[in-house]
Structure 1
Amino acid sequence: MEKETLRIEGFSDAVFAIAVTLLVLDLHVPEKDAIKNGSDLLVYIENQWPAFLAFILSFFSIFIMWVNHHKIFKQIYSRNSAIMFANGLILFLVSAVSYPTALLARYFDGEASSVVVALYTWIFVFINLAYNLLWFLASRDKKLLRPGITDAAIRKIHNNYLYGLPIYVIALIFSFWIPIVSLMIILGLWIFWALSSGKIEMSMKE
C-alpha cells in the first residue's frame, strides 16, 4: 500500500519545529547597562529561573509529542478529511503552547502561580484529547492503517494514549492548590511518554 500521509507529516514537522523555536523568545538577556560585573549577571540569571523552567518543560513536552506524532503516523498509511482535521487540531494546540509557557515564565513565582499553572496544564489536557481523537479516527477503519497491523497493536496504542489523560487531569487539579506538584506530574509524564513511544515502536514490528 502506498503511503498517503507524507504531506501531512512534512507539514506537521514544520509546525512542531516552529513551536519549539517560539519557546526561546521568552529567554531574555539583560540590558548591557544593567550588568556591572559577573555577580550582577549571576543574580540576573538566578532570577530568571521560572523562564528556564518553563522553557525546559515545554521544549521536552513538544519534543516528546513530536516523537509520538512520528510514531503514530508510521501506523497511519491513508488519510481522510477527519484525520486531516484531527491532526490540524493537534498542530493548533502545539503552536499555542508558547502562550501559557510565557505566562508560566513571567508569573510562576508570584501570587498568580496557581492560575498560570492551571492554564499551562489545560493545554496538555487538550493535546492529549486531540491525540486520542486522531488515533480513534484512524484506527476505526483498519484500511487506513499500515498493512498487517494487528488488533492487539491497535489496542496497545489506544491504551497508551488513553492512560495519560487521567494523569493530566490530576495535574490540573493539583495546579489550583500546589502548583509545583502539578509541574512535577507533567515532568513525570515526560518519562511516561518517552517510554511509551517505545511501545508504539514495538507495535510496528508485530
Structure 2
Amino acid sequence: SVLIMWMNHHNMFNYIRKIDRRLMLLNGLLLLFVVLTVFNTSLVANHIQLPDANVAATVYAGTFFVLAIVWNGLWWYCTSGRRLLGRDVTEQQASAITRQYRVAPISYGVALLIAPFSGLASVAVILAVAGFFAITATIGE
C-alpha cells in the first residue's frame, strides 16, 4: 500500500508547480500517516485471526481515514483558487483527481464504521480501495 500511495503522491505533484510553507507542513503530515501504515499493517497482520482483530482493524481503518482526510485537504489547498497548480493543468484534470480522491475518505469511513463488528470485512474494504488506487494511480498522466 505504501507503493500505491507513493505512485498517487507522485502523480499529484505532477500537477503542483508551486510550493509554500503550508504545503510543506500538510505534506509532512500526510507522510507521517503514510509511515504509520507500515506499523498498522503489521498490527493488523498479527491480530487479524485473534479475538482483538476488530480493535486492530479499527486502528488500521482509523489511520487510513485520517490519512485520506489529510490527503484530500492537501489537494484542496493546492487546487483552491488554483493557488499551487501549474498553468497547464486544466479544470477537467483537477476535477477528475478531486473526484478520484473522494473515494478514499468515504470508503475508509465505511471501513472504520464496520471495523468494531468485523475486522476482516473492514480490511477487505481497505484492500479494495488499495486496488482502486493502484489502477487509477496513473490517471491524467
Shared fold per TM-score greater than 0.5: yes
Normalised by the length of structure 2, the TM-score is: 0.92
Task: Give the number of the structure with larger relative contact order, counting CA–CA contacts within 8 Å between residues 6 or more apart.
Answer: 2
CA drift of 1:199 comes to 2.2
For 2:24, give the aligned amino acid.
M
Partner of 2:136: 196
| Pairing partner for 1:118 from 47, 53, 58 | 58
Shift of 1:66: 0.3
Match of 2:80 in 1: 140
Could you tell me the TM-score, scaled by structure 1's length? 0.64
In structure 2, C-alpha distance between the alignment counterparts of 1:196 and 1:102, rounded to whole Å: 25
Give the structure 2 partner of residue 96 of structure 1: 36
User: Contact (CA 8 Å) 1:171, 1:182: kept in 2 or not?
Assistant: yes
- How do residues 1-206 of structure 1 correspond to structure 2 at under 5 angstroms? 61-201=1-141
Alpha-carbon distance in 1 for matches of 2:58, 2:19 = 34
Secondary structure of 1:198's aligned partner: coil
Unmatched tracts of structure 1, length 5 or more? 1-60, 202-206
Which segments of 5 or more consecutive residues in structure 2 lack a partner in the other structure?
Answer: none
The size of the alignment, in residue pairs, is 141
* Regions of 4+ moved over 6 Å: none
- After superposition, give the CA deviation of every residue in 1:69-114 in whole Å (9 maximum; x if it has no partner): 0000000011111111110011111112233223223322111110
> How far has the Cα of 1:144 moved from its partner?
1.9
> Residues 148 and 179 (structure 1 numbering): CA distance in 2 closer, same or farther, change over 3 Å?
same
How many Å separate the matches in 2 of 1:167 and 1:140?
24
Counterpart secondary structure, 2:14: helix
Q: Deviations over 1:163-197 (max 9, x none)?
A: 22111111112211121111111111122112222
Residue 107 to residue 155, structure 1, CA distance change in 2 (3 Å):
same
Which has the higher Rg, Structure 1 or Structure 2? 1
